[in-house]
Amino acid sequence: MHISITYTDLEGACVAVLRPASALDWSSYHDLLAHAWAAQAAGAHDLIVDLSDVERVGSADMAGLYTVARLAQGTQLDAESGWAALRALVEGHPPLRPLAVVHPHSPVRQALASAPFSNILAIHADLDTALAALAEEIETYYRQEETLPCIPS
């Protein structure tokens, strides 16, 4: 599976957009997490997952998306913690704020919108909408944090 990462500066915060291609399933679970970790290590303050090139999702990548949501909040997790975190989600412990997911195709959108995943994901029609929502969050909650320069894409 190919996953591209692009970076953008948003209100002084570096945002990484992860864009996987093909299917999100067990074989791509660790790739998604590795790219999310790499983006954070490179200085990304926030993460967005663009699913416009994904035709289907499996249960493993639902756990992966949950783990990416936790990483986006600065929680340090290992690759296997996605499953434990997913059990916690089912038990009513969602992440502090949802992970922005953009442009999922209809079958993917249906899978992501079902409980308990609807609590961990903010599904947006396009990247501009997700960036606008994230800019509002950054303005409201994160303005006092020190910002670092964003890595060019």
Give residue 18's pLDDT band: very low, low, confident or very high (50, 70, 90): very high
Q: Give 95-119 pLDDT, tens digit per residue.
A: 567 888 999 888 888 888 776 667 7
Per residue in 42-67, pLDDT tens?
Answer: 988 889 999 999 888 877 667 777 77
Side-chain-facing half-sphere of 61: CA atoms under 13 Å: 26
Q: What is the pLDDT of residues 65-83, one digit of tens each?
A: 777 877 777 666 555 555 5
Global confidence as pTM = 0.80
3-state secondary structure of 66: helix
How confident is the model at residue 15, as a pLDDT? 92
Instruction: Give all domains of the chain, ordered by start, each with its CATH number.
Output: 3-142 (3.30.750.24)
Residue with tokens 């409980």: 115
* Mean pLDDT, the chain, whole residue set: 78
Residue 152 confidence (pLDDT) above 60: no
**Calpha distance 8→130 (Å, rounded):** 13
